[in-house]
Amino acid sequence: MTIADPTAVANHSDYTDNVYSGKLDHRAQVCALIEKDGLVPKHVIESEVKWFYDVLGLDDMYFMLEDPATVAGHITSLYGAQLTSMNKTNSVDITFESRREQGAVFIHNSVPGISKTEGPNYEKMIDAEYLDISVPQGAFRVESYRSRGKVSKGLDASLRTYFVNGCDFVNPDPKGDAALDINQVSDRTFLAKATPVVLDLYSAVMAKVLGRTGPVIVSEELPSGSYRLVIGYRQRSTQGYFSALSDLYHYYGLYSSRKYVEQFSNGVTIISLYLDLAKHAKRMAAGSSGSGSSATSSIGSSPVLGATAAPVSIEDGIAQIMREASLLFCIPNTPFQTLFKTGELSVQEAVYGYAGWIFAQHFLNRLGSEYATLVDILDPTDATDMVVLAKLKKRLRQETFTREHILDIMLRHRDLLKDLYLHFAQVHYIHSETPSGISRLADRLKDNLHVSLSMARLQDKAALTKDELLVKIARVTTNDHDAMVMRALLDFNEHVLKTNFYQPTKVALSFRMDPGFLPAIEYPTKPYGLFLVIGNEFRGFHVRFQDVARGGIRIVRSRNAEAFSINQRTLFDENYSLASTQHRKNKDIPEGGSKGTILLNMDAQDKSAVAFEKYVDAVLDLLLTGQSPGIKDRLVDRLGRNEILFFGPDEGTAGFMDWASQHARKRGAPFWKAFTTGKSQTLGGIPHDIYGMTTRSVHQYVLGIIRQLGLDESACTKLQTGGPDGDLGSNEIKISRDRTTAIVDGSGVLCDPKGIDRAEMTRLAHARQMIQHFDVAKLSPEGFRVLVDDFQVTLPDGSLVQDGLSFRNSFHLNKMAAADFFVPCGGRPEAIDINNVGELFEADGSTRFKYVVEGANLFFTQDARLRLEKAGVHLFKDASANKGGVTSSSLEVLAALSFSDEEFGKLMCQQEDGSLPAFYQEYVADVQKAIEANAAREF
């Protein structure tokens, strides 16, 4: 038995067979219907039906679910397909599908052990339409069988059937101990078919799934010599996994005789695959055995995964699949998937290519030396010069290397991609062994397949050095663009200091990068540390400018494909700028600045929690030393020192801080209490929103301006971006006393020149609701609300708004937004830059705002700020105004590090009766005073 998890598999008993008692009567009806239709010669009907029922070897479930008329149609179609194949080509193409409200049946023919690249891909369809969307409130189970007989005497193809059915759970909403009781959380059909041994196995796998973030993988050798592979994971934690697993075991020359996907009402999915060597793999294995070769034949200096070839034994293939199932769980599908299906790339090469593709999208130096020369020539104080330079920079980044162009180059140079993967593997896997230990590695591989993630099949191929790769890239590529892309992958290899790519279990890929590859012309201050994290639902970064640094993690969402494309292009620049601003903002605390960003993929906009959890777990892989062989191994560490990161709340992540802290604790991180800030009070956190920590700093600058200039706050008008649903926006509404004339948030624009009703604003702020919930009856006749989904809206002044989304996105530049104060409490970075700042000026040269206090980070670019200040605007930038939250976080961590666990629970955590310790309340009050004092002192 090969096993990747301590869970024990007792024996080979599994599901009871499907037996259809009415099969003979069903068969007789089918014969009568075929004869009535007259499409099959009468003298062959009996033999065709007998072959279909008795010889082909379809599972009885097919006959249970399909009525005689449907089966008669299938037999007739199959007979016609066989006649066509005899007359035209040596192939048969059979596809049947039948859908109903709570399930479906799919049938197609295929050669066991070979992935089809053409025709309907039913497994991808099942993933997308049934499995990927399964949750306890609506889940689907799958039974799939391969017929024992062939569809035609001269072909190896057999029929694969898929039976998809909606789940009927015994207990749809289990609580407490019931969530671990398999008899409570199972589908009734599964319980009727599963043996006690399967129930015990699934129960053990389920418990482990609920206790970790990633997949649980176990295997068992059956008496027949085939294997059962069982994989458990949380529902909706991956996508396209069922079909990706088929491509994986086909790559290793295996096929499945049957497979099951079971769902459970506690949020767990379990897949069972029954695997054996395919016929073509057995022939190759026999040939290999006859020649005296072995799975670990001469490896020279660089053992690596070879091109497609069957494993010498099924054991080798199963061991490899178990390791790579975790890699596929992270990234089930990539643009390189077709090359993986056809065997031109291994799964490691395909996933490496995907990671390199993302790296190249963000870090190709697209500006070039000519841009640097232009920067030196132009006058940085000349607004016109800076506008031209900004437009040129934006255009070069957008048009020089698109995602599609980079991918096309990589696909055309797949041999180079293989060489670059080998170079990567030499550093991050193979060089974990000393050179003298390579031969010992080969010996150990024969006895212990757990040693390797990618070396079940080895070949003689020396890895190229960096210089040799540069020479080969120059020789093989045909133009500068191709060479730049492939050199970018080499840069990636050279600057990865640590990665979980070869970690046996993981949920996303993480890379600790040396930031030395960043061009100084674009990133003048070199970060201290850089992390790249890639998951199935997202990509993300973490940048810090000091070893001990602090900053929030934000989720970046995209409303449409165009927004995603923009967000993707600017993601790292935004992250870098946010971290740099945070570094300047942290001048009142000992920690440096950092920031993390998570960009959700376009099809994962509703999976922020899943993406955040994977991001955190993947980063922890690189912060913690693996202590569980086969689950969390020690990684190759080119950094050579321990690191600790500190995460805080930011846009879209405030509610996840408790989970991250507890997850770090579960994984054994000694710094778990300080790992995240802004936690709930039950964990000793100081929630920024409850105590208005960020707003206390921002609003001090508003009050400072009012005090310094002798203004009446109640008479001042204000534009606010970032609405009552957010931390900063809601608290700004609660503590301000001005006449707010406009609010812009995620749902749209709310504007009233007479002043928005403060009582109604405050109600929304307390409820943390967007302005779409504002009672418009409380607007003056001149007031209006335009939501992002609105079209063709006529405003009170008679002007027409064509579409609400565009109106919302640019309202801060609209003449109707004019006010005394502009306080951005939310919005995208660089919303006002040198290209559009001119829209804030009237025809006479005056500005629409007299005072700007930047609560939102990076809302203005530096050159836009300078132009406004030159025009007389009193502007306080984000690094000064928005630092209350980080001061609170720093002092929260100080308490976490100062007390023992017992002291911390007694003095800093909410008690069981709901009360807050007196020390906690005094400490929070002191934190608030420190924030206000810092802001007043800097003002």
Rounded-to-integer distance, Cα 140 and Cα 128, Å: 12
**What gap in Å lies between CA 164 and CA 233, rounded to an integer?**
19
The DSSP letter of residue 831 is: S
> How far apart are alpha carbons 620 and 219 in whole angstroms?
27
Q: 648: which residues sit within 8 A by CB, 6+ positions away?
A: 550, 551, 552, 553, 657, 676, 677, 678, 885, 886, 889
DSSP class per residue in 617-628: HHHHHHHS---B
Q: How many residues does the chain have?
A: 939
Residues in contact with 59: Cβ distance below 8 Å, sequence separation at least 6, in sequence order: 18, 143, 145, 161, 258
Secondary structure of the chain: what % helix, strand, coil (to 5)? 50, 20, 35
Dihedral in degrees, nearest 10, Cα atoms 351, 355, 360, 363: -170
Rounded to whole angstroms, the Cα distance separating 824 from 743 reads: 10
* CA distances for 735 relative to 190, 738, 850, angstroms: 57, 10, 21
Helix ranges, 477-560 (H):
480-495
Neighbours of 370 (CB within 10 A): 10
| 644, amino acid identity | I
CB atoms within 10 A of CB 105: 19
Side chain identity, residue 126: I
CB 454 within 8 A of CB 346: yes
Residue 746 CB contacts under 8 Å (≥ 6 apart), including other chains: 723, 725, 770, 788
Residue 645: CA atoms inside 13 Å, Cβ hemisphere, count? 30
CA dist list (Å): 444 to 7, 289, 432, 437, 792: 24, 20, 14, 10, 71
DSSP assignment string, 184-216: HHSBHHHHHHB-HHHHHHHHHHHHHHHTSSS-E
Phi, psi of 488, deg, nearest 5: -65, -35
Cβ atoms of 874 and 850 within 8 Å: the answer is yes
Residue indicated by tokens 């929690």: 609
Cβ atoms < 10 Å from Cβ of 553: 27
**Annotated active-site residue in 418, 498, 595, 679:** 595
Q: Which of 314, 224, 215 is nearest to 271 (CA)?
A: 215
In 3-state terms, what secondary structure has residue 719?
Answer: strand
DSSP annotation of 647: E
Q: If DSSP states are collapsed to H, E and C, what string results for 27-72?
A: HHHHHHHHHHHCCCCHHHHHHHHHHHHHHCCCCHHHHHHCCHHHHH
* Other beta carbons less than 10 A from residue 302's beta carbon: 19
To the query of whether residue 595 is one of the catalytic residues in this protein, the response is yes
8 Å CB contact between 550 and 647: no
* Secondary structure (3-state) at 824: strand
Helices 314-330 & 241-251, crossing angle to 10 degrees?
150
* Crossing angle of the two packed helices 23-37 and 42-50, in degrees rounded to 10: 150
DSSP letter for 135, please. B
Beta bridge partners, 262, equal 270
- Active-site residue set: 595
